Structures are given as structure tokens and as C-alpha cells.
Chains A and B, each alone.
Chain A
């Protein structure tokens, strides 16, 4: 099982990334202890050089997280044929207790890495590295998550045994089972639809207010996170159904398949983009009043707000397109 090429690739990639992150965290600790921008000592110059390395590594790590998120799902998908009862990634992930936690961690890590890069970018724009200690403190906090992801993913992938009988998405993402998930899916469609449209509308509104007036940054940021979560529930609950044109098919992974035009990729990527940029705004809000950031921070936030709003808008457009042009009418359900 271990020798499946996809599994080898994921394990190798995540071990490399986690080790690099640990080195970065160590360097970050050194920087926090010894940094003094006003000093011209050789140690300080060396530390400044190190920050370039850490930025570079984190950028690569973020890119890797995004790619490996989709590779992970794809691998789970292609392995599904080896498990009795599994027809797509949904079943493969359920084979042992580490599958879904690994997925959750991967999504979380992507968001965390993205937010860190936003903080890093902001720090670099100021002429005295005002956030240097904050951001490396953050890095040290993020590292355990990435290490956890490597371990949990590893536990999942190495613990896959082909004889285990698991379920297909039809039985996991269904209203019959007694899980929270079913509870969510079983919500009256009207409720999940309303929740989705409402939260998106609120996000757009707060976004516009923030973009034009610069007020309510925290509210907007929190709203983007809530919209992200609600949108995922909405995807499972009703949006995917329209793409599948089958009222009982609620799987969040099957929309990534070629039969559905790979529409899952733009849907998830726009959601992730919207969430990261929205969260980034909230992450740098506390630093608005620092002198050297006073001029550079607001434009960065505005640009992030724009990205977030446009991403969510794209998401709504794509889902709307799917709903409107679907051959399915859910009115009867």
C-alpha cells in the first residue's frame, strides 16, 4: 500500500515541508531573541539575510500546501477502487480514523500559511520591519500544525489496508445516517440556501463598506470565515446536487471529477482565495496604528478586500450557473 506512487509523493512532499518549517521555526526563534533593527552588527545583518530565506521557504510551503491538498483528494479518489464500498474519495477517507482529520488539517494549514504570508508581505513593506517578532512568533505557532498534518496524513496513508470495507459517498453524505453531517445535509434546502445567500450578501456588504470607507475590518474578516464554512456546507447540501443532477448525490469530492467538467476546482479555489484574503485582513488589523505601517497597511487591506469579494463573487457565479443551467429542478424536493 505504501508503494503507491501518489502516496510516496505525498509522504515525501510533506516530510520535506515539515522539516523545512521546523528549521524556519528555529531560525525564527533566533530572530525573536536577537533582532535589533537599529544595530549594524554582523549578527543583525545575518539575521536580516535569514528573513529572506524564511520568506522564500514559506512561499514554497504555501504553494505546496495548495497543490498537495488537491493531490491528496485525488489520491484518495484513485485509491477508492481498492476499498470495498468506496467509489470516490469520500469512502477512501473513511477507511481509517485519520482520513478526514488529515483533510481538515490540510485546509487549515493552507489558510494559516496564506495568512502568514500576508503578514510577512505587510511587514516587508514597512521601512523598519515592525512586525518581525510578531510574525516569527506566529510562525512558531503554525509549525506544530504543519507537523501534525504530516503525521496525521502519514498515519492515514500508511494505515490503508485494502481489505477494509468502507462506505461510499452515497451513504456518508446522506440524510439517513445519524451524524452531524447528515443533520446538516438534511436541513431543509430552503434553510441552507438562505443561510448561504444571506452570509454571502452580508460579506459583500461589509466588504464594500470596508473597501470604500475603511471601517469594519474585523467584522468583514469574520464574515468571510463564516461564509467560507457556510459555503462548504451549502456545496454539500444543495449546490453539488445541481451539478450531479441527482437529488441524493451530495458528495463534495465528486465535483472534482472530469465528468463534471472539473468544476470543483474553481469552486474550491475561489472559496479558499476568498477565505485567505479575508482572514488576512483581520490578521493585520491590529497593526494599523504602527507608525511605519500607517501608510502601507490600508492599501494592502483594500487590495485583499477586493480579492476576497471578487473570489466569493466568482464562487456565487459558478454555483449560480450550475444551478440555473442544471437539468434538475429541486422544487419537488
Chain B
């Protein structure tokens, strides 16, 4: 088909001339790739973290009931359990005991949580990976291992030595890094929480559709409580990560604009050699739309290579080097950093957004310069 042959010829010629001027085009491709790399890294990270959070939260309780005292979370009386249990649709109500413990030695905050497995094993704890590093940052560089003991300062100033009986698997690091699981007795020894109070209540509900109704009924029963729905948490995570990703993208706007200006500059700054070449093409029989086609394919070739390389390197960056460049900003502030080995998750949607944010502005920046170079008069070579 003649139209296809024509495209083929034009593409051949275009690739050859790009190659002939590889020095000039290379710098553009490098910057283009870098911009895509930055944007893609941000988006892949945000998307993967959201997916990860969703997976982890899958096992989280559907409703959590907290009690608010003067606007802050206080302890909830276990007497509330009965009435809440009787609400239609509630399958079970379980009290949870947990709190934050500040470790003076490492300067870190741990989440101390009572676990049913440790019920009759006072003196034993199971810790998350981050806790094992509590002394790794000091000169000792010691990693806390199984059968080591960690001192916990109790509310009355004395110390309780608890022995590590296990370390939580690395795969769950994102949420368990700073976790310490203890028995109920030890918890109450450390924190002086009276026996008939719990930190919060966890509900199992039969029908998903009733969640909001049940939450409303709980607030009616006990106006000092605050029920939190799992899907609200998910939504908040989504929103926060999206927002953070978006903020970074906007911050990168500076780099982005620099790139667009570079692209525009390269496109307009045709040196004499290129102008001459286009002049010759027009003189020997190429029409303006043929040159425009060539410029279109040129843009496509540059964009495609930059896009592929940018996405590939972003993929490797996020999923194989654990986001070496971004982790600090996106994770938030914390002393214990879990290792960010995210599971590779990307979707066509992200690719589409990246395309819109990079290739389209690039194309727009080069439209007018391409057109200007294509509309050189055919007789220009004769007049020189």
C-alpha cells in the first residue's frame, strides 16, 4: 500500500537523520528520560503503596470503636461491650489492648500490643524488624535477636526485662516494623491500665452494607465513642498517598518546565545544516505535509525511547532499589525505617497519566517549531 510505503520511507530517512545528529538529540532524550523517570517513580511508588496498604488492611477489623476523652483517645470501659454486642448485625466484639512506648535508649516509639498467643507467657515478647535494630544505630551496632532481652521502663520507674521469643516476618514490615507483642499481665504492669478497661474495641459485622448503620447506633448508645470504619482508613490512605504524590509532581514542575523549554529550544534552534537539509528536501519534491510527517515521526521516536527508558528505570528504581531517592519524603517521619520492598504493581492507567503529563506537553512545545521548519520555501536552497 502506497501510504504505508511512504511512511516507511519517511521513517527510514528520519531515523537516519536523527542518528546523524545524535549529539544534539541525545541531550534532549536524556533530559526527557529523566523527567519521565522522576514522574514515573513517584506514581509507581504511590500506586504500589496504596495497593500494599489495601492488602494489609484487608485483615484489619471492619469497625474499631474508640472512646474520646476531651478530644483525645482514652480507655474504653469493657462494660460497653455487652450493649454493643446486642446491636443487630454485630457478630462479635473483642477488646484490644495496645499503646505507644518510648524507648529512651534508641529514641524510638514502639507500638506495644497485647496478643492472645502470649496470654499465659508473661515475660515473653515478639517484636518487629525495626525493633531488632534498636541498638544498631549506636556504637554497639548490636542487633537484638531471639532470646535477647529488652528492658521496658514501667509507669512507676522500675524496669521489666522481657525476652524476645520471635521476630515478625519481614514481608509484613510495612505495618509491623515497630510492633512489640506482649502478654496482658506485662502490658498492664508497664502501663497501669486498670483491668476493666481496654484501648479500643474491635467489631465483626455480618453484612457490609450495615456498617454505617451500626456505627451510627454505637454513637447513639455511647456518645463518647468514635467508631472507625476500615474503608474510611483505606480512603484516607488513598487520599494521602495520592496527595503526596501529587505534591511531589507539582514540586517537580520546575524540572518539568525546564525540560519543556529545552525541548522548544532544540526544536526552534535548527542549525544551518538542518535548515539546509529541509530546504533540499522541499526543493527536490517533498511537500510541507511530508516534512510535517517526518517531524511527527521524529517526535514519536524521541518520545517513545524516552518514555520506555524512563518507565523501565523508574520500575527498577522503585521495585528493585527500594525507592532509594524518594523513601524519606513519601514515608513520613520516623526513626525506624522499614525496608521498602514493594511488590511490583503498575497499571495501564499510570502509563496513560504519565503519557499525558510528559509526551503531550512535549508535543505541544514542538508543534510550532516543527511547522516553522516545515514551511521553509522550496526555493530557499537556490537563493543561497
Contact = CB atoms under 8 A, between A and B. Distances in A.
A–B interface present (Cβ within 8 A): yes
A20 to B, nearest CB: 7
Contact of B238 (A8, A10, A52, A81): A81
Contact of B349 (A6, A67, A82): A6
B155 interface: no
Contacts of B249: 3, 5, 8
A6 B353 CA distance: 6
A68 B374 CA distance: 28
B242 interface: yes
A331 to B, nearest CB: 29
A290 interface: no
Interface in A1-53: 1-10, 12-13, 16, 20, 49, 52-53
A3 B349 contact: no
Contact of A56 (B247, B352, B355, B371): B371
B234 A49 contact: no
A64 interface: yes
A13 B356 contact: yes
Contacts, number: 87
Nearest to B287: A52
A198 interface: no
B357 interface: yes
Interface in A56-72: 56-57, 60, 64, 67-68, 70-71
B381 interface: no
Contact of B292 (A12, A56, A70, A162): A56
Main secondary structure of the interface of B (DSSP, over half): helix
B142 to A, nearest CB: 42
A162 B239 contact: yes
Nearest to A46: B375
Interface in A69-86: 70-71, 74, 78, 81-82
B181 interface: no
A8 B363 contact: no
B238 A2 contact: no
A3 B243 contact: yes
B356 A74 contact: no
Nearest to A10: B356
Contacts of A81: 234-235, 238
Nearest to A23: B368
Contacts of A6: 349, 353
Nearest to A74: B349
Interface in B348-384: 349-350, 352-353, 355-357, 360-361, 363-364, 367-368, 370-371, 374-375
A6 B371 CA distance: 30
Given A12-B361, A56-B367, A3 B352 contact: no
A4 B242 contact: yes
Contact of A8 (B250, B352, B368, B374): B250
A57 B246 contact: no
Contacts of B375: 49, 52
Nearest to B241: A4
Most chain B beta carbons < 10 A, residue from A13, A56, A60: A56
Interface residues of B, number: 34
B73 interface: no
A60 B353 contact: no
A115 B317 CA distance: 44
A260 to B, nearest CB: 15
A16 B362 CA distance: 11
A82 B360 contact: no
A52 B289 contact: yes
Interface in B322-364: 349-350, 352-353, 355-357, 360-361, 363-364
Contacts of A82: 235, 238-239
Contacts of A13: 356, 360
B242 A5 contact: yes
Contacts of A57: 367
Contact of A5 (B292, B357, B364, B371): B357
Contacts of A9: 352-353, 356-357
Interface string A212-242: 0000000000000000000000000000000
Interface in A102-159: none
A60 B363 contact: yes
B117 to A, nearest CB: 33
A12 B243 contact: no
Interface string B228-248: 000000110011001101110
Given A5-B43, A8-B249, A82-B238, A16 B353 contact: no
A267 B247 CA distance: 36
A64 B364 CA distance: 11
A12 B356 contact: yes
Contacts of B183: none
Contact of B357 (A2, A12, A60): A12
A9 B243 CA distance: 14
Contacts of B199: none
Contact of B360 (A1, A3, A16, A49): A16
Q: Which 6 A-B pairs have the closest CB atoms?
A: A3-B246, A9-B356, A49-B375, A53-B371, A9-B353, A4-B242
Given A10-B356, A13-B356, A52-B375, 10 more contacts: A5-B46, A5-B353, A5-B357, A6-B349, A49-B288, A53-B367, A56-B367, A56-B370, A60-B363, A71-B356
22 contacts: A1-B239, A3-B242, A3-B243, A3-B247, A5-B242, A5-B353, A5-B357, A9-B353, A12-B356, A20-B364, A49-B371, A52-B289, A52-B374, A53-B367, A56-B370, A56-B371, A60-B363, A60-B367, A67-B352, A68-B356, A71-B353, A74-B349
